[in-house]
Amino acid sequence: MLAAPPYARLGRLVASPDVMATIPRGTLSRAIRSHAYAGAAEDGHFQTRHGWECVVFFLRTDADREETRIWMAGE
């Protein structure tokens, strides 16, 4: 049996209204999964950059892992 990959704890997810109106849910889900996997080896806060049809958006998890914010470039 394969072990589940390590994922970072992300806490509460908070997305801007523009992100929710612009980025498709499937794209957000993949970005969140990728972000959690990337942060599994990190100490402190970590941030990842993602894109969808020329729209750049970011995910940032605080060092205390209480909250992950999602926003688009320029917000």
Q: For residue 22, what are its two tokens?
A: 């612009």
**57 within domain boundaries:** yes
Structurally, the chain folds into a number of domains equal to 1
The β-bridge partners of 59 are 48, 70
**64 within domain boundaries:** yes
Structural domain harbouring 53: 12-72
What is the full per-residue pLDDT of the chain (75 aa) written as tens digits? Answer: 555 567 778 899 999 999 999 999 999 999 999 998 886 666 778 899 999 999 999 999 988 889 999 999 988
**2 within domain boundaries:** no
**3 within domain boundaries:** no
* DSSP for residue 61: E
**50 within domain boundaries:** yes
- Confidence (pTM): 0.83
**7 within domain boundaries:** no
